[in-house]
A and B are shown apart, each in its own frame.
Chain A
Amino acid sequence: MTAIRFEDVTKVYSDGTVAIENVSYEVEEGTTTVLVGPSGCGKTTTMKLVNRLEDPSGGTVYYEGSDVEELDRIDLRRDIGYVIQEIGLFGHMTVGENIATVPELKGWDESRIDERIDELLELMDMPPEDYCDQYPRELSGGQRQRVGIARALASEPDVMLMDEPFGALDPITRENLQDEFLELQQQIDTTILFVTHSIDEALKMGDKIAIYDVGQVVQYDTPQEILENPANEFVEDFVGADRGLKRLQVTQVQTIMSEPGAEADTGTAIAADGNGKMDVTLSPADSAQVALSRMIQHDVEKLPVVADSAVVGTVTKDTIHNIARRGD
């Protein structure tokens, strides 16, 4: 199912600035699509067309099959989650009241709202009994953005728009929140449109990536495809010279492992260190980068992949080297 579809969309601002021109692509339901590009390339404008914070000058934006311009903009916005870099929590309301914003606008009854607040705070790893009655200024930057995300998720939206949500956070907090959010997304199964200017964040978060260059989408593809077959020089430059290494980041070991038993001696993958024998294994969702660094750390040529305490495959250093070299 297509959640959002851009069809030949153009946006020209009243001062004559062309923000985007003839943009067309589709966003699949339940996936994360990252809009990435240098500043002023139109990625934020594209996002704002979805919840009608802006209206297109030409072309059509479809939300779950209907032209957004035919939907009531207030209802549309209440159905779509919205997170911004500046977070924009209401400083005079408690954490709980902030999260309750959209459910209250939608007229949920109080007990349902309270339940939802507790549920979301638990999900964000912020115990409700500690945080519900705090004011935003009492929280750290990372906690504030967690509340921002919880507020956007409050009425169980099918689509979430996130405009550089982690952009203002320090690198360590950013990484933690990215990891948490990837996990969270598995549980909530929401369609996400995510704007960032960081290609690393895009590669990490995105199922699909739309790369923007001055108002145009130059490539719309999976992270792997973008790393392997950049559409043009701009994409190549934008991705950077280390794209072989980046490819390792986006490749999960389960996609490159060989069948168990194909290698006759899986047993040798048990690495020996100073203290004798120690199990070093990988899980199917680990990246090739993690696999490589473990191999270097333990000085072995291959490692077993283990799921539910059964060996499901093997990854060798050669395979990983081949991935890094491919396409260069």
Chain B
Amino acid sequence: MIAESLASSGITPAVIGGYLEFLASHSTQITQLIVEHLVITLLTIGIALPMGVLLGTFISLYEWAATPILWFAGIMQTIPSIALFGLLIPFLGIGSPPVIISLVLYSQLPIVRNTHIGLTQVDEAAIEAGRGLGMGRLSRLRRVQIPLALPVVMAGVRNAVVIIVGIAAIGAFIGAGGLGDYLFQGIRERNVDMIVVTTVILSALALALDYGFGLSERLLRARNGEEIQSTRLTRIFQQVIA
């Protein structure tokens, strides 16, 4: 039955064998593309995270700036990536610079928004008690707000990472490299094996990064004394940290 339905949808053992064969014969190039893709993603996070956290902190201290900045970050997400690349090429040329800048802009909304929520959600009574006990604005931020905000920020980073991995693939269109290269080549050459294998790898990459940041989110929550659903991996990490 299963074999029949697979066959009717075009997926036969022969097809899967074809994918594996492609994977085996192109493993060196694929590894290199994965590395390129990861470099773009991590460079983006390296810029986007401090920038988003700073902006988020700024708008939680100066609430009047929150609406315009979140609005701007929201608008950025509606611009099609190809259009944004096109707009940046006159200033930055082709290759990875315009792609990384675009990705940083796309990832600001989840990071800024979550930082803002994380810093402002803190229990009013704890803030009031903190003030009354002689904590200045900065020590309240450092001792109370930031520790409570970190897991929420991490959830935003998770969101951002999934967006970045996907959009970075389109960056290959303007020469940034990464797994997008094989997608475009596959489309040009009508090489279905190439497209399918690359897509699966892209999804796996996004899921793996999402899981990694999810793990750090849970560990940050555990550090704040929250009860977390501990998987085996978190327990191992907790033991390592302790």
Query: A residues within 8 Å of B by Cβ?
Result: 51, 53, 74-79, 82, 84, 86-94, 101-102, 105, 135, 137, 148, 151-152, 161
- Complex alpha-carbon distance, A82 and B133, angstroms: 6
| Residues of chain A lying within 8 A (CB to CB) of residue B132 | 51, 53, 77, 82, 84, 161
**B135 proximity list for chain A (CB < 8 A):** 101, 105
Most buried by B among A75, A86, A92, A137: A92
B69 at the interface (CB under 8 A from A): no
Task: Find chain B residues with CB under 8 A from A161 CB.
Answer: 132
Contact of A88 among B125, B143, B147 (CB under 8 A): B125
Cross-chain contact of B133 among A86, A91, A102, A137 (Cβ < 8 A): A102
Q: For residue A81, which residue of chain B has the nearest CB?
A: B133
By DSSP majority rule, is chain B's interface helix, strand, loop, or mixed? Answer: helix
Structural contact, A105 and B139, CB atoms closer than 8 A: yes
Any chain A CB within 8 A of the CB of B26?
Answer: no
Report chain A residues within 8 Å CB of B223.
Answer: 92
B148 at the interface (CB under 8 A from A): yes
Give Cα A87–Cα B124 distance, bound, in whole angstroms. Answer: 11
- Beta-carbon contacts of B104-136 to A below 8 Å, as 1s and 0s? 000000000000000000011111111111111
Residue of B nearest to A106 (CB): B134
CB-CB < 8 A to A90: which residues of B? 126, 130, 143-144
Please judge, given known A-B contacts A74-B136, A86-B125, A87-B125, whether A92 and B148 are in contact too, CB under 8 Å: yes
B225 touching A101, Cβ below 8 Å: no
Nearest Cβ in chain B — how far from A209, in angstroms? 23
Most B-side CB within 10 Å, residue of A76, A77, A87, A151: A77
List of B residues within 8 angstroms of A137 by Cβ: 225
Most buried by B among A82, A86, A88, A137: A88
Judge whether B225 and A78 touch: CB under 8 Å: no
Quick one: given A75-B134, A88-B123, are A82 and B225 in contact (CB under 8 Å)? no
User: In the docked arrangement, what's the CA distance between A226 and B135, Å?
Assistant: 38
B132 to chain A, nearest CB (A): 4
19 further A-B contacts with Cβ under 8 Å, apart from A75-B134, A76-B134, A82-B129, are: A53-B132, A77-B133, A78-B133, A79-B134, A82-B132, A82-B133, A87-B129, A88-B123, A88-B125, A90-B130, A90-B143, A90-B144, A92-B147, A94-B225, A101-B130, A101-B135, A148-B129, A152-B133, A161-B132
Q: List 12 A-B contacts (CB under 8 A).
A: A82-B133, A88-B123, A88-B126, A88-B130, A92-B148, A93-B225, A101-B130, A101-B133, A101-B135, A101-B143, A151-B133, A152-B133
Q: A84 contacts B129, CB within 8 Å?
A: yes
> What's the least CB distance linking B129 to chain A, in Å?
3
What are the nearest 8 A-B pairs in CB distance?
Answer: A88-B129, A86-B125, A78-B134, A77-B134, A82-B132, A92-B224, A88-B125, A135-B225
Name which residue of chain B comes closest to A51, CB basis: B132
**A137–B130 alpha-carbon span in the complex (Å):** 18
Residues of B within 8 A of A75 (CB): 134
* Interface members, chain B 135-155 (any A CB < 8 Å): 135-136, 139, 143-144, 147-148
- Interchain CA distance A51-B134 in the complex, whole Å: 9
Minimum C-beta distance from B159 to chain A (A): 23
A79, B139: Cα distance in complex, Å = 17
A57 to chain B, nearest CB (A): 20
Which residues from A are CB-within-8-Å of B143?
A: 90, 101
Give every chain A residue within 8 A of B129 (Cβ-Cβ): 82, 84, 86-89, 148
Give CA–CA (A92, B149) in the complex, Å.
Answer: 11
Specify the chain A residue showing the minimal Cβ separation from B148: A92
